A and B are shown apart, each in its own frame.
Chain A
Amino acid sequence: MSIGPGWYLGLSTVLFAIGAIGVLVRRNVLIMFMCVELMLNAANLAFVTFARTLHDIGGQVLVFFVLVVAAAEVVVGLGIVVAIFRRRASANADDLHLMKG
């Protein structure tokens, strides 16, 4: 038999935590995006683990949809970054306070 689901879920939790720390700590918008991808991958890993544990292919179908949404999100997000960079010449999240009162 293969490795039990607990190990995979623990790894998924650690990966998610590292991604969350990255989003909270880094200020480069591009690196924050990459950390969001890390968190999405942690969720995917958990989905696949539960699909195997519960013998239900639905988890893998959901991972498929997460991949599609992640691709769309990255395309739109990077478009926004390019648009902001054209105006501000900076990829630092702290500089983006145009809506500040």
Chain B
Amino acid sequence: MTAALLTLAASSGHPTIPDIGVFAVAAAIIIAGAVGVVVARNPVHSALMLVMTLFGVAVMFVLQRADFLAAVQVIVYAGAIVVLFLFVIMFLGVDREEDIRSEPLRGQRPLALALVVLSATGLLLLGQVSKWTTGQPSVAGSDTGAPNVNLLGKSLYTTYLFPFEATSALLIIAVVGAVVLARRPPAVSSDEAVDQTPGAEDAEVDA
């Protein structure tokens, strides 16, 4: 399989030494971070490992000339999503160590490992034996030459205008849903109601 991958690599010209070095380092960071997310016992450590993986993926985006997406990846994922994770972890106070040795379902781990490895191997083999075809190349515009942001913006505001507008509705729905879900239930008992400050009650009425 490595030989096949090497021929794939060679088919697009010989990569230079810096390219290989950057790819290898970023790949090592991605894999190490991903393994860290899965095996860390403390959720806070998992979140920090997730940041590592996300930075590695951003490096991969830069390597493939997706500069804008690399910036968005760092800002949105590392800047917003992981901070949200950390905020919820610390808000809930679940940042204590978890015993991951115990296994409530007998045989769950070996079975999960076997299934995933089988699927991944099948996927890699599929990539080796099949050809990638597109009915109509460059539907949304070629990504050669011009700056990445120009092409992405033009495509987003012409071909993909309706999906782009639909995402705004999705985000509004998500915000409203999060507020409704995370708000305290309205039927509070009398002793809990005493604890609440008047400002919090006003905010609830507004919400």
Binding site for B on A (CB under 8 A): 1-11, 13-22, 24-28, 30-31, 33-35, 37-38, 41, 44-45, 48-58, 60-61, 63-65, 67-76, 78-83, 85-86, 91, 94
Contact = CB atoms under 8 A, between A and B. Distances in A.
Interface string B172-207: 011101111110100000000000000000000000
Nearest to A17: B120
Contact of B9 (A3, A41, A79): A3
B82 to A, nearest CB: 9
A27 B13 CA distance: 45
A52 B143 contact: yes
B84 interface: yes
Contacts, number: 251
B25 interface: no
Interface in B19-72: 19-20, 23, 27, 30-31, 34-35, 37-38, 40, 43, 46-47, 50, 53-54, 57, 60-61, 63-66, 68-69, 72
Contacts of B123: 13, 16
Given A24-B112, A54-B137, A55-B138, 15 more contacts: A7-B27, A10-B124, A21-B112, A25-B112, A31-B46, A34-B46, A37-B81, A49-B64, A52-B66, A61-B159, A72-B171, A74-B85, A76-B181, A82-B92, A82-B181
Which bracket fits the contact residues of B? Answer: 35 or more
B171 A3 contact: no
Q: Is the interface of A mostly helix, strand, loop or mixed?
A: helix
Given A26-B38, A53-B132, A78-B85, A41 B53 contact: yes
Given A14-B31, A71-B76, A78-B88, A7 B112 contact: no
B174 A37 contact: no
Contacts of B23: 3, 7
Contacts of B68: 60
A23 B180 CA distance: 27
B66 A65 contact: no
Contact of A56 (B10, B27, B140): B140
Contact of A5 (B8, B104, B167): B8
Interface in B78-118: 80-81, 84-85, 88-89, 91-92, 94, 98, 100, 104, 108-109, 112-113, 115-117
A74 B140 CA distance: 29
A28 B72 CA distance: 28
A75 B174 contact: yes
B163 A56 contact: no
B99 to A, nearest CB: 11
B13 A18 contact: no
A58 B139 contact: yes
